[in-house]
Structure formats: structure tokens, C-alpha cells
Structure 1
Amino acid sequence: MRLPLLALLARGPAHGYELKQDLEQLLGSAYPQPNVGQIYVTLNRLQKQGLIEGEDIAQSSRPNKKVYHLTEAGQEELRTWFDQTEDEPRVRDEFFMKLALAPQSGLADQITLINKQRRQYLNSMRNLSKLTAAEDRDNRIAQLLIEGAMLHLQADLDWLERCQEELENLE
């Protein structure tokens, strides 16, 4: 949450609730909606780290609001983040651990686990398809997020098929 907030603040000062709304609008309904409390906790941490500064702004009919802006250290942190590539192979996969340990435990059947996980992935794909239809067509970022999730699910389904074939050949 910290780096996305820094990225939003790079365009200009904003308060916490405004940042929440910007994230929701940008990423659409497929992305888990951020909790406003989590955003304010993160903003406080970023301020303590010197990556942002907050300024109280007086409001006539409401309590003061705190508006945050990016510091030079925050800009540098953001530049570093944008410069880094992501390398996260999924070798620590919870489902695969279940699949690998099922025979040793004697409490679960591997093919049953695969079928159950396959149903879960298919349900997730159906839910994402509904979101695609409901999501604003002009929000290309949200559409790309949904499309990426669908492609990952399809790859997971293909991998489950491969696992099942290998396990059935062992019998």
C-alpha cells in the first residue's frame, strides 16, 4: 500500500480519503478495496519515514484535514520502485504444498484436491467475467487488471491439468 500511495502523491498533494477514492477509481472493483483506516496508518508511517509530509488545512464547517505531499526522499523511493523489475516465481504455493503432502498425511486424495481447486479457479473466472461486464469500459487499467487475473487463472487451470495427468500416470 505504501508505494501506490507515494505514486498517487507524486501528482500532487492529497488527503487520505481522496487517495482511497483515487485508488478505487483507478483499479476498479476487481482490486480489493483499500480500508481508509489502513490508508491513514500507512500515511502516518510514510510521514515518520520522511517520505511524505503532512499539513493541517483548516476547514470552516468541518474539522481540519491533513493533506500530504511527497518529499524528495519519497520521490527517490518511488523512482527506485519504478526502476525495479518484479521477480516472484510461485514456488511457495499453498495449494502445491497440500498436493505434495496429501499422500503422506493419508487425510486427502490428490485428485480430489485438484478437482476442488479447479472448481475454485473456474468460480473465480466466472466472478471476474461478471466484473468485466460491470466495470466501466473506459477504465482500461481496471480492464487490464481483470484480464491479467483471468490469464493467471487460465495458466493455473492448465497447470492443474498437467498435475492430474502426471499423478494419474504414477498409478
Structure 2
Amino acid sequence: MRLHLLALLAGGPAHGYELKQALEKLLGAAYPQPNIGQIYVTLGRLEQAGLIEGKHVSQPDRPDKKIYEITVAGREAVDLWYENPSEAPRVRDDFFMKLALAHLTGTADQIALIHRQRRHYLTLMRALSRLERAEQGPEQRIARLLIEGASLHLQADLDWLERCQEELE
């Protein structure tokens, strides 16, 4: 989340609640949203690392708020994040390890594991379909792309489970 917050601050100064709102507006319900406490903890760490600076701003009828601004080092970190490709496809997958260890140790039925995982993925797929129907306005374009990407990943996972079952039966 630290780089997400830095990228938002690269667009301009903001306080924690504005950053939370920006993430929620951009990603909708499709992306797990951090709570405000997580955001402020992360902002504190970013400030300690010298990637952002916080300034207290007085408000006449409210408590003071702290506005955060990105530093040169913070902007360099964001630029580097954008320049580097994201991680490769998941190789260290928890389910794959369950399947492999079940085979190695004989402590669980591999086909039962596949069926259980398939049911879980199908439940997730239905939830994504509901989210996609809910995110219909033009301002939810990014959220819809996120949902579509997650659905495509899930479909690939379901196809892979089918392949595993065929191989193991």
C-alpha cells in the first residue's frame, strides 16, 4: 500500500482520509480497501523514511489536520515503481503447495482439495459478477477493469484446476 499512497501523493498533497476516499473512488468495492488506521500507519512510516513530509494545517471549526506531500525521494520511489514490471505469475501459490504436499505425504486427498478449491473459485467468480453489475457508471471504468482482470485470473485458475484433476485421476 505504501507505493499506492506515494503515487496518489505524487498527484498532489492530501490528508489520510482524502487518500482513502481516492482509493475507494478509483477501485470501488472490487479491491480490498485499507482501513483509515492502516493508511495513517503507512503514512507515518513513509514520513519516517523521508518519502513524504507532513504539515499540520489549522482548521477554524475542526481539529487540526495533517497534510502530506511527497518528497524528491518519494517521487523517485514512485518513478522506479512505475518503471519496473510487476511480479511474474504466481509461482509460490499456497494451493499448489497443498496439492504437492498432499501427494508427497498422503495426508490429504488431492481430488478433494481440487473440488474444494474449485468451489471457492466459483464463489469468488459469482461475487465478482455481482460487483461488476454494481460498478456501472463511467467513473467506475478502472474498477471494472480490475474486476475483469480478477475474473480472467480466476478463469485461468479454474482451467488449471481442471488440468490438475485430469492429470491426477
Quickly name the TM-score band, shorter chain normalised.
Answer: over 0.9
- Further displaced range: 71-80 or 98-107: 98-107
* Partner residue, 2:167: 166
- Equivalent-residue separation in structure 1 for 2:42 and 2:104 (angstroms): 43
Aligned length: 168
Shift of 1:97: 1.0
For normalisation by structure 1, the TM-score amounts to: 0.95
* Partner residue, 1:16: 16
Unaligned stretches of 5+ residues in structure 2: none
Contact 1:16 1:39 (8 Å CA) reproduced: yes
* Partner residue, 1:54: 54
Contact 1:137 1:143 (8 Å CA) reproduced: no
4+ residue segments displaced more than 4 Å: none
* Partner residue, 1:34: 34
* Partner residue, 1:128: 128
Shift of 1:137: 3.0
Shift of 1:84: 0.3
- Equivalent-residue separation in structure 1 for 2:142 and 2:26 (angstroms): 7
Contact 1:50 1:74 (8 Å CA) reproduced: yes
Give the 5 Å matches for 1:22-171.
Answer: 22-138=22-138, 139-168=140-169
Aligned partner of residue 62 in structure 2, secondary structure: coil
Alignment RMSD: 1.1
- Further displaced range: 146-155 or 94-103: 94-103
- Equivalent-residue separation in structure 2 for 1:50 and 1:103 (angstroms): 48
Shift of 1:92: 1.0
Provide the identity percentage: 68
Aligned partner of residue 34 in structure 2, secondary structure: coil
- Post-superposition CA distance 1:7-39 (Å, at most 9, x none): 111111100011001001001101001110010
Counterpart AA for 2:25: Q
- Equivalent-residue separation in structure 1 for 2:144 and 2:155 (angstroms): 16
Shift of 1:46: 0.7
For normalisation by structure 2, the TM-score amounts to: 0.96
